[in-house]
Amino acid sequence: MTSQPASRTASSVARQPVTLGTDGLTAADVLSVARHGAPVDLDPAAREEVARVRAHVDALAAPGHAPVYGVSTGFGALADTAIEPVMRGALQRSLIRSHAAGAGPEVETEVVRALMLLRARTLASGRTGVRPVVLENMLALLNAHITPIVHEYGSLGCSGDLAPLSHCALVLMGEGRARDRDGTERPVRELLTEAGIEPVELAEKEGLALINGTDGMLGMLLMAIADLDDLVRLADVTCSLTVQGLRGRDGVFRPELHAPLRPHPGQEASAANILALLEGSPIIADVASEGSRVQDAYSLRCAPQVAGGVRDTIDHARTVADRELAASIDNPVVLEDGTVTSNGNFHGAPVAYVLDFLAVVAADLASIAERRTDRMLDKARSHGLPPFLADDPGVDSGFMIAQYTQAALVSEMKRLAMPASVDSIPSSAMQEDHVSMGWHAARKLRTSVENLRRVLAIELLTAARAVDLRAPLAPSPAGLAAIAVLRETVPGPGPDRFLAPDIAEAEERLRDGSVLAAVEGVVGHLR
């Protein structure tokens, strides 16, 4: 499920330090730390605010004060159980140990780093009541590239991403499991000693503050948005190549057919992109002079409507992500006047919904790309191309099975489009009787994003071959640029060859940003 950044993102997000203050982080900050290993500094003003708020918590924890949830009581269904001062440290340790109950495969390093950074962001807001040392040690783990081992299962997306965050908190305590910057698992105490980090002895409320947030699902949402921003542009690139490979028409992408008639901003952007990518194509000019076909199939003609709807959904998800980035999520939370009060802001529903929305639109974008690919392989619909683009049809199978692979990927994406957020299984003796399943929505979205990239890689391979077979007619300058990148590692038309490495190479060219950079070098920034 690992999702890596494109090279253009890597070049634009340098390893400059990210400063964590009371005003939070940007999406770019999170990507820089999670994906590119940028160091994190703590604003002195944020440290002072954390210390000031902690004084309120210490006063509430003093002997003789009325019980306060999370400070001097048990948790969840045990919220009405008062805990004596001498046992409160043990209470916090027990909370973390018992909640570090994840199972299944390890999640990716970038997800764990995002998880820790976003929890640190909330700690720095001064709304959680932890001591500064807890926050500072969390940042020290990030800067030392110590990555707690977090498992696939354990969060219901409510009361926080409890198990994943608990595995991180356990490492702060000098326990649990972790990997070093090279990915090698080593004893936690050894890693902390090497980095000069003292294990934290948790005090009142600190255990709860370390695990009560939507940080995992938010981190994965931010990374999915960044990936989809590139992939939806790449879908316009592969579509433009397919239009040329199928001798399609460019008239349906004219601006007067979009914003004036149907003012969806994403549709307008996609149509403008495809039109620019087709500009100057001798293939398209030849089709226009032929004048025999009135209109193309939906998978070509309606591409801006589908890719545009994907863009608009991404923009909605970005709005939700930005709002969540501005949030300070904990329960109980410390208000401006020092009051510590319970709330339900840890419920992941808003984030879970958009994670599910993105899985739906990713599946549909992959679906229309697969239909375009299939059309290029069918001699009855490809307008003169050989069956399956084979060099010697009958002897060679061409790209027949590449389309099978595409279909398998799309089929899985359709299954993954089933929303996680409609499910809820009560927990904690019915105290937590409605949950978001946002973590699961995020995990399946990561798979969908990877599958979408593979689907587009196969369309790129197929369309490039179809365009090459149209010689001596050439594609547009942007099309030539995209194909040139591919041809650096993948040969053009010829007899059947081991196809899996070619698919992997095409996928890597989409992942590393080289195809997008090449076409944008011709037409400018795609919207």
Pick the catalytic residue from 69, 298, 353, 404: 69
Q: Are residues 183 and 278 in the same domain?
A: no
pLDDT at site 257: 96
Q: Are residues 35 and 102 in the same domain?
A: yes
Q: Are residues 370 and 484 in the same domain?
A: yes
Which pLDDT band holds residue 77 (cuts at 50, 70, 90)?
low
Which pLDDT band holds residue 2 (cuts at 50, 70, 90)?
very low
CB 441 within 8 A of CB 401: no
Output the domain CATH number for residue 472. Answer: 1.20.200.10
* 152 domain-assigned: yes
Mean pLDDT of the chain, nearest integer:
93
Rounded Cα–Cα distance for residues 276 and 423 (Å): 43
The predicted-structure confidence for 332-382, as pLDDT tens digits, reads as follows 888 888 888 888 888 999 999 999 999 999 999 999 999 999 999 999 999
pLDDT at position 114 over 90: yes
> How many of the other CB atoms lie within 10 Å of CB of 260?
9
Q: Give the mean pLDDT of 385-394.
A: 96
pLDDT at site 59: 85
* Residue 303: C-alpha distances to residues 230, 308, 439 (Å): 16, 8, 31
pLDDT at site 315: 98
Output the domain CATH number for residue 46. Answer: 1.10.275.10
* 104 domain-assigned: yes
Sign for the CA dihedral angle at 242, 245, 246, 248 comes to positive
pLDDT at position 5 over 50: no
Closest CA to 241 of 283, 291, 269, 271: 283
* 334 domain-assigned: no
Which pLDDT band holds residue 8 (cuts at 50, 70, 90)?
very low
Q: Of residues 71 and 34, which shows the higher confidence score?
A: 34
Rounded Cα–Cα distance for residues 193 and 17 (Å): 23
CB 342 within 8 A of CB 331: yes
Closest CA to 77 of 346, 427, 435, 434: 427
Q: Are residues 436 and 414 in the same domain?
A: yes
pLDDT at site 303: 98
Q: Are residues 518 and 499 in the same domain?
A: yes
pLDDT at position 12 over 60: no
* 335 domain-assigned: no
pLDDT at site 292: 64
Q: Are residues 269 and 365 in the same domain?
A: yes
Q: For residue 387, with 0-12 CB atoms within 10 Å meaning exposed, 13-18 middle and 19 or more buried, which class applies?
A: middle
* 230 domain-assigned: yes
* Tokens (6 digits) for 168: 């991180």
The predicted-structure confidence for 292-327, as pLDDT tens digits, reads as follows 677 899 999 999 999 999 999 999 999 999 999 999
Q: Give the mean pLDDT of 514-524.
A: 98
Q: Give the mean pLDDT of 208-214.
A: 91
Please give the residue range of the domain that contains residue 167.
7-213
| Residues forming beta bridges with residue 106, ordered by sequence position | 151
> What b/e sequence results for 456-466 when a residue is b if at least 16 CB atoms lie within 10 Å of its CB, and e otherwise?
bbbbbbbbbbb
Q: How many structural domains are present in the chain?
A: 2
pLDDT at site 80: 74
Q: Are residues 413 and 504 in the same domain?
A: yes
- The residue out of 175, 196, 213 marking a domain boundary is 213
* 339 domain-assigned: no
CB 189 within 8 A of CB 195: no
* DSSP per residue, 410-422: HHHHHHHTS-STT
pLDDT at site 13: 46
Which pLDDT band holds residue 9 (cuts at 50, 70, 90)?
very low
To the nearest whole percent, how much of the chain has pLDDT over 90?
Answer: 80
- DSSP letter assigned to residue 432: B
Q: Give the mean pLDDT of 235-252.
A: 97
pLDDT at site 1: 43
Q: Are residues 192 and 228 in the same domain?
A: no
Q: Are residues 267 and 299 in the same domain?
A: yes
* 298 domain-assigned: yes
pTM given for the model? 0.94
* Tokens (6 digits) for 176: 């649990």
Q: Which residue has the tokens 């002195």?
A: 44
- The residue out of 213, 228, 262 marking a domain boundary is 213
- The residue out of 213, 228, 263 marking a domain boundary is 213
pLDDT at site 4: 40
* 346 domain-assigned: no
**Residue 76 Rama label (left phi>0; alpha psi -120 to 50; beta):** left
Is residue 353 part of the annotated active site? The answer reads no
Pairing assessment for the beta strands 185-186 and 178-179 based on DSSP bridges: antiparallel
Q: Are residues 142 and 261 in the same domain?
A: no
The predicted-structure confidence for 144-192, as pLDDT tens digits, reads as follows 999 999 999 999 988 889 999 999 999 999 999 999 999 999 999 999 9
Q: Are residues 432 and 502 in the same domain?
A: yes
Q: Are residues 196 and 49 in the same domain?
A: yes
